[in-house]
């Protein structure tokens, strides 16, 4: 593989923004990839994948390269040199790479691979938390969370069928396969930019991880019901609920962020989903108006996001122990408050994209023993582990109101 100067420089510039200016990796890359119109899909793929790789393995590479944050520009080139050497890529004769100790890099890599926090490239506190909560299972999970996330589509059954989308994509030379136990899903056999296809623009599918697709089905909404998606965000799961309800009934999509609901509106239009009503949570009154009015309520709670590190590798560097403590408080508050929207005989699903019991079943147990939770009982719960599913980590609990 020959390294091209402009692609390497674009990668270094992206890393500078992500590491030193603490910008979000996906947003940085979105801007970087627009920089040169002449770049083809392979060029853009190189920049994105290399940047994500170095972000994912930051701690390990920094230790091997013997550099510390904040990284100087020369330090970023050293990280890049470690990345290239470990992949067997010959470094070009540029000043930046002069005197790169290739053999020492490989030796150091072997030595550090025996220590989990370096091998899996994670902060000390996170390694301790994972081990404390998951015991021996933590080894498998953190290893799996460092693998590249597969690209999964969710077919929009309001407009089309899985088979039809599969055939149409095949005509575009995009090969997919159907997934067992995921009726609406198609897995891409090779990574490609599906957002440029007319099928996506026409609302025939969304990109949504297989585990995330399990949540709406776990809620099991029916046509004609009134459903509240209490933390709707930009509406990935809301749109899935709309298709399962065949556009019949009402979905009230709540969120505290107006801009996210605006994005949901745009996506709903593209998807042909007409039964969604976005509402900004401006105060506790928004929730009060809905007390005992919903057949089903989904609380897709804000969480550590540990289950989705495959696709957000920069999150492990931004996550802090105090955030984890704070978010657990928020999760319990949401359960206490939003559960009041469920009608007698109605149902509630509490879900997170975390694999930590303290954010998941322990929160549900705590809620069920509280004053507000005494009218609810647990029907079933499911933990999706990345190591066994190959997809994101998720937790879901279905609660029945008396």
- List, in sequence order, every residue forming a beta bridge with 396; answer none if it has no partner: 351, 382
**pLDDT tier, 140 (very low <50, low <70, confident <90, very high otherwise):** very high
- The answer to whether 353 is a known catalytic residue is yes
For residue 302, what pLDDT is reported? 98
Q: List, in order, residues 6 or more apart from 400 with CB less than 8 Å away.
A: 345, 347, 376, 377, 379
Sheet holding 376-384, edge to edge: 276-280, 250-255, 226-229, 294-300, 342-352, 394-401, 376-384
User: Tens digit of pLDDT for each residue in 311-342?
Assistant: 999 999 999 999 999 999 999 999 999 999 99
Q: What is the mean pLDDT of residues 53-74?
A: 97
For residue 166, what pLDDT is reported? 98
- List, in sequence order, every residue forming a beta bridge with 297; answer none if it has no partner: 228, 348
Percentage of the residues of the chain whose pLDDT score is greater than 90: 99
Domain spanning 218-401: CATH 3.30.565.10: no
For residue 135, what pLDDT is reported? 98
Domain layout of the chain by residue ranges: 5-121, 152-207, 218-401
Determine the Cα–Cα distance for residues 233 and 256; give it in Å rounded to an integer.
8
For residue 78, what pLDDT is reported? 97
β-pairing verdict for 294-300 and 342-352: parallel
Residue whose C-alpha is closest to residue 26's, from 207, 211, 174, 271: 207
Whether 152-207 shares its CATH topology with 218-401 is answered no
Q: What is the mean pLDDT of residues 72-99?
A: 96
Determine the Cα–Cα distance for residues 251 and 255; give it in Å rounded to an integer.
13
Residue 253 near residue 261 (C-beta atoms within 8 A): yes
User: Tens digit of pLDDT for each residue in 150-185?
Assistant: 999 999 999 999 999 999 999 999 999 999 999 999
Choosing from 353, 355, 356, 364, which is the catalytic residue?
353
**pLDDT tier, 195 (very low <50, low <70, confident <90, very high otherwise):** very high
**pLDDT tier, 352 (very low <50, low <70, confident <90, very high otherwise):** very high
We find that the CATH architecture of domain 5-121 is: Orthogonal Bundle (1.10)
Would you tell me the crossing angle of helices 5-15 and 25-32 to the nearest 10 degrees? Answer: 150
Determine the Cα–Cα distance for residues 273 and 245; give it in Å rounded to an integer.
10
Cβ atoms < 10 Å from Cβ of 20: 15
- Terminal CA-to-CA distance of the chain, rounded, Å? 64
For residue 5, what pLDDT is reported? 97
- List, in sequence order, every residue forming a beta bridge with 401; answer none if it has no partner: 376
**pLDDT tier, 14 (very low <50, low <70, confident <90, very high otherwise):** very high
Sequential DSSP letters for 152-165: EEEE-TTT--HHHH
CA torsion through residues 216, 218, 222, 225, sign: negative
Q: Which two tokens stand for residue 384?
A: 């999706």
User: Tens digit of pLDDT for each residue in 219-266?
Assistant: 999 999 999 999 999 999 999 999 999 999 999 999 999 999 999 999
- List, in sequence order, every residue forming a beta bridge with 206; answer none if it has no partner: 154
Q: What are the start-end ranges of the E strands in 114-180? A: 152-155, 176-179
For residue 86, what pLDDT is reported? 98
> In the chain, what is the greatest distance between 2 CA atoms, to the nearest angstrom?
72
Q: Which two tokens stand for residue 293?
A: 């009015």
Determine the Cα–Cα distance for residues 241 and 261; give it in Å rounded to an integer.
16
Helix (H, G, I), strand (E, B) or coil at 345: strand
For residue 387, what pLDDT is reported? 98
Q: Which fold has domain 152-207?
A: Alpha-Beta Plaits (3.30.70)
């Amino acid at each position: 593989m020959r390294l091209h100067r402009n692609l390497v420089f674009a990668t270094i510039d992206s890393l500078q923004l992500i590491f030193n200016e603490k910008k979000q990796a996906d947003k940085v890359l979105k801007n970087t990839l627009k920089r040169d119109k002449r770049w083809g899909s392979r060029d853009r793929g190189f920049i994105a994948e290399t940047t994500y790789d170095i972000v994912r393995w930051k701690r390990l590479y920094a230790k091997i390269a013997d550099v510390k944050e904040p990284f100087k520009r020369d330090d970023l080139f050293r990280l890049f040199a470690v990345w290239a050497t470990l992949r067997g890529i010959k470094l070009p004769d540029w000043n930046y790479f002069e005197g790169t100790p290739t053999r020492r890099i490989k030796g150091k890599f072997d030595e550090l691979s025996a220590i989990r926090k370096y091998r899996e490239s994670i902060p000390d506190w996170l390694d301790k938390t994972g081990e404390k909560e998951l015991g021996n299972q933590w080894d498998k999970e953190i290893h799996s969370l460092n693998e590249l996330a597969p690209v999964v589509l969710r077919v929009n059954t309001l407009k089309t069928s899985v088979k039809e989308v599969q055939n149409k994509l095949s005509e575009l030379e995009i090969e997919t396969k159907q997934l067992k136990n995921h009726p609406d899903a198609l897995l891409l056999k090779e990574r490609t930019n599906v957002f440029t296809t007319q099928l996506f623009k026409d609302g025939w599918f969304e990109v949504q991880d297989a585990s995330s697709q399990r949540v709406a089905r776990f809620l099991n909404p029916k046509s004609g019901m009134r459903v509240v998606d209490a933390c709707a965000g930009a509406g990935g799961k809301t749109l899935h609920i709309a298709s399962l309800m065949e556009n019949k009934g009402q979905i009230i999509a709540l969120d505290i962020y107006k801009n996210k609901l605006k994005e949901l509106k745009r996506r709903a239009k593209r998807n042909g989903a007409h039964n969604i009503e976005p509402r900004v949570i401006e105060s506790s009154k928004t929730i009060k108006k809905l007390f005992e009015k919903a057949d089903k309520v989904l609380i897709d709670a804000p969480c550590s996001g540990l289950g989705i590190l495959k696709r957000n590798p920069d999150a492990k560097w931004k996550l802090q122990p105090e955030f984890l403590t704070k978010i657990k408080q928020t999760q319990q508050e949401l359960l206490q408050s939003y559960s009041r929207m469920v009608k007698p005989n109605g149902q509630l699903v509490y879900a997170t994209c975390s694999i930590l019991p303290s954010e998941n079943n322990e929160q549900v147990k705590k809620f069920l023993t509280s004053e507000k939770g005494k009218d609810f009982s647990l029907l079933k719960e499911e933990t999706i582990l990345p190591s066994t599913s190959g997809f994101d980590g998720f937790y879901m609990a279905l609660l029945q109101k008396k």
